Amino acid sequence: GAVVSQHPSWVICKSGTSVKIECRSLDFQATTMFWYRQFPKQSLMLMATSNEGSKATYEQGVEKDKFLINHASLTLSTLTVTSAHPEDSSFYICSASVTEAFFGQGTRLTVV
Amino acid sequence: AQSVAQPEDQVNVAEGNPLTVKCTYSVSGNPYLFWYVQYPNRGLQFLLKYITGDNLVKGSYGFEAEFNKSQTSFHLKKPSALVSDSALYFCAVRDIAGTYKYIFGTGTRLKVLA
C-alpha cells in the first residue's frame, strides 16, 4: 500500500511554544490530506482537510488560528500547533488517500 | 449524514477461537466501508474495504468482513484469533460527497487471551 510518513513520532514542548508536525506522502501525490486528533481511548476526531495550494477546511469547533495547516506541495502537509497549552496534548494523525486512506504513524504531543 | 456505530467497547476472545467485531452503518446511497487496526501509539493500518461486489470481503492478516445490506452491518471476523491480534479496531465510512473524508466509529478494543 501507499506510505504516509509523519514526523516527529513524539514531541515534548513547553507551554506557549509552537510545534510543527509534518505529514508526507512518500510514493504518491496527495492533493488532499486530513488531520485527526485522538484522545486517550477515544476515536479519531477529524480536525481539518488540508488542500494543496489553498486554505485548509476546518471542522466545526477547531480553532484555525491555533492549528495552522499548510499544504505547499503535493507530498507535504504541515500542522503547526501555535502557543501550545497542556490541553493541546494529544495524539495527532494525518492521512492521505489513494483508493483508501493511508495513515501516518501519529505524533504524540505533550505540552508541559 | 454518514455514520458508523461500534456497539462494543471491548471484545475478549480466547486464542484460537473465532472473533467478531461488530459495526453497523447509516449512509445515504451506496456505502464505502472500511476496517482499520491501531496498535498502541501508532497510526491506523488498513485491513479491508467494501465498495461493491461480493458481500464477503477478505483482507489483511486473515481478517474478513461481511457486508449485510438488510441489517446495515459490516462485521469484522477472523476464524482463529491470535494474541497478536489484540489491538484497537475502527470501522469507518467514507463521505462520498466528493471528498475522501472518513467518519470513524468509536473503536472496539480486542483482547485475545492466551
Give DSSP secondary structure letters for B40-76: TT--EEEEEEESSS-SEEE-GGG-EEEEETTTTEEEE
Helix/strand/coil for B83: helix
Residue listed under C-alpha cell 489484540: B86
Q: Which residues of A touch B94 (CB under 8 A)?
A: 101
What are the tens digits of pLDDT across the range A28-41? 888 889 999 998 77
- What average pLDDT does range A11-29 have in this prediction? 95
Number of Cβ within 10 Å of residue A45's Cβ equals 15
**How high is the pLDDT of residue A4?**
92
**A93 and B100 in contact by Cβ < 8 A?**
no
Q: How far is CA A56 from the centre of its chain?
A: 11
Nearest in space to B64 (alpha carbons), one of B88, B53, B50, B48: B48
Interface size between A and B, measured as CB pairs under 8 A: 55
Which band of pLDDT confidence, cut at 50, 70 and 90, is reported for residue A2?
confident
**How high is the pLDDT of residue A1?**
67
Residues 6+ apart with CB under 8 A from A60: none
Sheet-wide strand order for A19-25: A4-7, A19-25, A76-81, A67-73
Q: What is the DSSP letter of A87?
A: G
pLDDT > 90? residue A21: yes
Q: In DSSP terms, which residues pair with B89 in a beta bridge?
A: B37, B108
The distance of B100 to chain A (nearest Cα, Å) reads 7
* Residue A45 main-chain phi, psi, to 5 deg: -110, 120
- What average pLDDT does range A12-21 have in this prediction? 97
Name residues of chain B where pLDDT drops below 50. Answer: none
**A1 and B46 in contact by Cβ < 8 A?**
yes
Q: Which residues of A touch B49 (CB under 8 A)?
A: 99-100
- Assess whether the previous peptide bond of A8 is cis (omega < 30° from 0): yes
Measured CA to CA, the distance from residue A98 to residue B4 in angstroms comes to 22
Q: In DSSP terms, which residues pair with A74 in a beta bridge?
A: none
Which residues from B are below 8 Å from A when comparing CB atoms? 34, 36, 41-46, 49, 90, 92, 94, 99-107
Number of Cβ within 10 Å of residue A38's Cβ equals 21
